[in-house]
Amino acid sequence: MKLVNLGSGSGGNCSLIETERGTRLLIDAARLGINHITDRLSERGVSLDYVSGVLATHMHGDHVDAGVTYPICRRHGIPLYVHAESFEDLLRRSKKFGELDRAGLVRKFDDSPFAIGELTVAPFAVPHGSGGWNRDIVGRPVGFRISHIEGASRKSFAFATDLGEVTPEAEEAMLGADALAIECNHDVRSELDSGRPRFLVDWVLGGRGHLSNEQCGRTAARVASRSRGSVKHILLLHLSEDCNTPKLALDAVRDSLRLVGEDHIPIDVAAQREPSAEIII
Ligand SMILES: [Zn+2]
Ligand SMILES: [Zn+2]
């Protein structure tokens, strides 16, 4: 199966996971614009009419929004999968979500794995949260372990964006994956020197904000070395446009992988407006 990111960062997020026989899922679909998502999918021969579900990581507007996510689901009859503990927050936030629910297009999941087509989706909790200054609602943020099991063969992606920090539970959920797609948000020095308001910097750097390049690198290195050779690709997600560069992110993650002898693993970087490389496992 394959994973391609169609755009990643605070300007919007959307990733496609596709099996050879045609189970297709999106992870998040927001803010990039309906045309961007539709066009990038159609360049890959994928029509939204044949997407089996949109999985929501959390409720920040760069991941789920009323302008892109709900219309895409409504127009194409695609179920939106949300954590059950996010449901009430979503209802309060937008009446379009209520309309989607009444149209039978909202599916609630809890912490148990569930099946969509040929894929098994196992959500895991991540500590990302609200900044608190504007009462923004995030629901119950999750990462996903997405697996395709065929006979004795099991392939899986571990996908985690917007983490804050990596808990033992989240790290455990990533072990043994064939590919990691993980947040690599900021360079700490650039964030501190950014001139952004102090409360915003404190939130980004804190345990409910975003992962730094070093945090991402250390996590990727621990997961790769504990997974004993299973991890064959790494995709870095959600880079800050102001406080990071692809080179800083790549160098930091490669340095961490080198320390554990795993720097042979290819690393790709997702961009805000351009599709990433396709990761095939
Ligand atoms: Zn985000
Ligand atoms: Zn977020």
Confidence of residue 129 (pLDDT cuts 50, 70, 90): confident
Say yes or no to pLDDT of 132 above 90.
Answer: no
Query: Of 25, 28, 17, which Cα lies nearest the Cα of 63?
Result: 28
Output the six-digit token pair for 30: 């927001």
- Is the pTM above the cut of 0.95? yes
Residue 219 pLDDT grade (very low, low, confident, very high; cuts 50, 70, 90): very high
The domain that holds 242 is classified in CATH as: 3.60.15.10
Q: Cα(235) to centroid of ligand 2, in Å?
A: 18
Structural domain contains residue 93: yes
Centroid of ligand 2 to alpha carbon of 62 (angstroms): 7
pLDDT at 227: 98
Band (pLDDT 50/70/90 cuts) for residue 150 is confident
pLDDT at 50 over 70: yes
In this prediction, what percent of the chain has a pLDDT beyond 90?
93
Report pLDDT for 138.
78
Q: What is the mean pLDDT of the chain?
A: 96
Does some domain include residue 281? no
Please write the tens of the pLDDT for every residue from 165-212: 999 999 999 999 999 999 999 999 999 999 999 999 999 999 999 999
Alpha carbons 110 and 273: distance in angstroms, whole number: 32
Number of domains in the chain: 1
Domain that includes residue 250, residue range: 2-276
Q: Which ligand has the shortest distance to the CA of 12? A: 1
Question: In angstroms, what is the span from residue 18 Cα to ligand 1's centroid?
Answer: 22
